[in-house]
Amino acid sequence: MNSRTVVGLAAALAASVSLTAPSASADVPPPAPPLRVLTHNVMMLPSIVGGNYANETRAAMIASSDYVKGYDVAIFEEAFDNGPSETLKTGLSRQYPYQTPVLGRSKSGWDQTLGAYSALTPEDGGVTVVSKWPITRKVQYVYKQGCGADWFSNKGFVYVELKVNGRKVHVVGSHAQADDSLCSDAPSVRRSQFAELDAFLDGLHIPASESVVMAGDLNVVKASAEYPSMLQALDATAPAAYKGHPYSWDPKSNSLNANRYPDDAPQYLDYVLFRRGHASSTTWSNTVLTPTSPPWSSGGTTYTDHYPVAAHG
């Protein structure tokens, strides 16, 4: 075989490879659209729990506060108390006109209800999502496992599909199993819940070009060995940076938290995470905010016993 033939064959082979082989970057998801996300546990406990926590007053204060302004989507947990949770949503409706019902309160207003939902469960799941952008699909999912006080509520997650500047963005807001003296193995229950959430998202077959954001009070301490296990179970990536106050739940600095849990250590429990394998951001950060509320009866100048977590990148 002469050199001219070898060169010709090499050129043909190279052309064939270039036409059939994927480029090195073909499996790398594109960047996410610019997103600003807020999650906050608002501690609107049902009246049966007791305590004078001025849910209606705090709902109105949160809705008119500066810290909730300017996001693409916000997720609230523990919006259990029916009247105050509606006050919160109504107060936010001008900024965030697209909203879900509260998880587990009824089947009304949802495109789909999945999991272990029961109308006989005494309390709803307390999660609601409000958005600046149109919500094109709303699904509520009630976890199959729960123990301690959580057994009496329809806790689970809310899934929404948003249309952000023409691009689909998928958001999940969840409130996972809490540590509880009546719950013998809360980490095991959380693992089961995270597996349900992961399986649900797998079943949607979301394209890699679309962002998937998971947020909420996940009740996993960031400083614990459970944190990397949570990331793995949810197929989530850790934020590039954690900023702001070092804890999202802090009896040492949060007066309402100190009122309820004066002897407990501070913890980081609340997150906004991207799902691996989908459009995301290499500069994504979670920032714990410490907003000051107007004074009210039991809480001093804090809106709730958790601090809000803001994410962007």
Q: Is 238 within the bounds of a domain?
A: yes
Q: Is 272 within the bounds of a domain?
A: yes
DSSP 65-101: -STT-S-SEEEEEEE-SHHHHHHHHHHHTTT--EE--
Domain containing residue 71: CATH number: 3.60.10.10
Angle in degrees, 0-180, between the axes of helices 226-234 and 186-204, rounded to the nearest 10: 20
Cα distance between residue 66 and residue 239, in whole Å: 24
pLDDT for the residue 30:
81
Q: Is 21 within the bounds of a domain?
A: no
> Can you say whether residue 18 is alpha, beta or left, with left for phi > 0 and alpha for psi between -120 and 50 degrees?
alpha
pLDDT for the residue 171:
99
> Can you say whether residue 207 is alpha, beta or left, with left for phi > 0 and alpha for psi between -120 and 50 degrees?
beta
pLDDT digits (tens, 9 = 90+) for 65-105: 999 999 999 999 999 999 999 999 999 999 999 999 999 99
Structure tokens at 50: 């007791």
Residue 2's pLDDT band (cuts 50, 70, 90)? very low
pLDDT digits (tens, 9 = 90+) for 124-135: 999 999 999 999
Q: How many other C-beta atoms are found inside a 10 Å radius of the C-beta of residue 274?
A: 24
pLDDT digits (tens, 9 = 90+) for 51-70: 779 999 999 999 999 999 99
Number of structural domains (the chain) is: 1
Q: Is 248 helix (H, G, I), strand (E, B) or coil?
A: coil
Q: Which residue has the tokens 């944190």?
A: 227
pLDDT digits (tens, 9 = 90+) for 245-297: 999 999 999 999 999 999 999 999 999 999 999 999 999 999 999 999 999 98
Q: Is 24 within the bounds of a domain?
A: no
Q: Is 17 within the bounds of a domain?
A: no
Q: What whole-number percentage of the chain has pLDDT above 90?
A: 86
Q: Is 14 within the bounds of a domain?
A: no
By residue range, what is the domain housing residue 276?
34-312
Q: Is 60 within the bounds of a domain?
A: yes
pTM metric for this prediction: 0.91
